[in-house]
Amino acid sequence: MALSRKTPIERIEYAIIVSTLLLLVVVTVQPILNLLAVSLSEPAKVPGMSGLTIIPRGFSFEVWSVLLQHPNVQRGIFNSIFITAVSTVIGVVGTALMAWGLSRPGLPGRKALFILVLVTIVFEPGIIPDYFVNKRLGLLDSYWSVILFKAVNAWYLIILIRFFEEIPKELLEAAELDGANPFQVFWHLVLPLAKPALATISLFYLVFHWNEFFRAMIYLNDQGKWPLQVVLRQFVIDGDKVAIVGANNASNNTGASQIDLRSLKAGMILLTIVPILAIYPLILKFFTKGTMSGALKG
């Protein structure tokens, strides 16, 4: 913009606006950068380190290497990746198939199915009945309790239905006239056209499942099946350091016992964010679009 045209007051206003927003950026990012600095400092120099700094004291990968070699952390990483990957695939496939049927105007029983889905959005009987359903199905303490439970999300389903409805009718009718059955139309026509929408809900599922901890916490007793979020929660929120540091510091040989707890906690928190940061450019691209196009729930 032609800044020269602006009056001094307007320039000051603009400076205030931009600095307010930059302050917001600092408040958002600084706590994370501080943890990064703590986790990358030489562990011995961490005690007494300010919460304000974003520069490591000394430089060392020791915390990260100890964490990444820790059997419980490795287990958590594996569990998180496994649960997230399988849940996302099941969720996307189930959602896409169901959305395809529900997006067809003439489908008999379509309205009833919509009501079936909408009821689940407004009425949730709560965590105890959920727990008992899991128990009754024999899913407790199995990966499947976390993977299968509520695998198809009603909101994502609605987003996908809206997208499928926008596919030009003429295209679908032409394919049907050529003798393609609904499976073929779905596979050869709808899916390729819906790539951006599928990418969006895949990311929705991916982020949701990676961040999920509550169900894993109540359905999985076996610590060997815990995803990273639950391992992190036990260590940082509950302050139970046994799983990471060991019950007795002296007899522990994982290396974690030698390191300041603050560094280990900082490292664990960041470790859990890494995958989100890795796909963040994609998130920005697809989530932004998805939200802009009218989905109120993010």
Binding residues among 65-94 for another protein as defined by CB under 8 A: 93-94
Q: Tell me which of 44, 167, 273, 282 binds another protein, using CB under 8 A.
A: 273
Tokens of 112: 């009833």
120, exposed or middle or buried, with CB in 10 Å at 0-12, 13-18, 19+? middle
* 278 in contact with another protein (CB under 8 A): no
* 186 in contact with another protein (CB under 8 A): yes
Contact 255, 170 (CB under 8 A): no
Task: Kindly give the interhelix angle for 71-102 and 110-122, rounded to the nearest 10 degrees.
Answer: 140
Number of residues that bind another protein (CB under 8 A): 103
154, exposed or middle or buried, with CB in 10 Å at 0-12, 13-18, 19+? middle
Tell the smallest beta-carbon distance from residue 112 to another protein (Å).
11
* 205 in contact with another protein (CB under 8 A): no
Closest CB to another protein among 10 and 222? 10
Chain-centroid distance of CA 142 in Å reads 21
Contact 177, 255 (CB under 8 A): no
Residue where the block lists tokens 């408040």: 27
Contact 244, 72 (CB under 8 A): yes
* 56 in contact with another protein (CB under 8 A): no
* 218 in contact with another protein (CB under 8 A): yes
Contact 218, 127 (CB under 8 A): yes
Tell me which residues in 123-162 interact with another protein (CB under 8 A).
123-133, 136-137, 148-152, 154, 157-158
Closest CB to another protein among 156 and 250? 156
Q: Tell me which of 12, 15, 17, 171 binds another protein, using CB under 8 A.
A: 17
* 182 in contact with another protein (CB under 8 A): yes
Interatomic CA distance for residues 275 and 265, integer angstroms: 17
Closest CB to another protein among 107 and 171? 107
Interatomic CA distance for residues 277 and 296, integer angstroms: 23
Over its C-alpha atoms, the chain yields an Rg (Å, rounded) of 25
Tell the smallest beta-carbon distance from residue 54 to another protein (Å).
10
Give the binding range for another protein (CB under 8 A) out of 59-67, 194-202, 225-233, 243-251.
225-233
Q: Tell me which of 213, 245, 256, 259 binds another protein, using CB under 8 A.
A: 213
Q: Tell me which of 28, 248, 251, 253 binds another protein, using CB under 8 A.
A: 28
* 31 in contact with another protein (CB under 8 A): yes
Give the binding range for another protein (CB under 8 A) out of 30-38, 60-68, 193-201, 246-254.
30-38
CA angle 20, 277, 207 (to 5 degrees): 105
Tell me which residues in 90-119 interact with another protein (CB under 8 A).
93-95, 97-98, 100-102, 104-108, 110-111, 113, 116-119
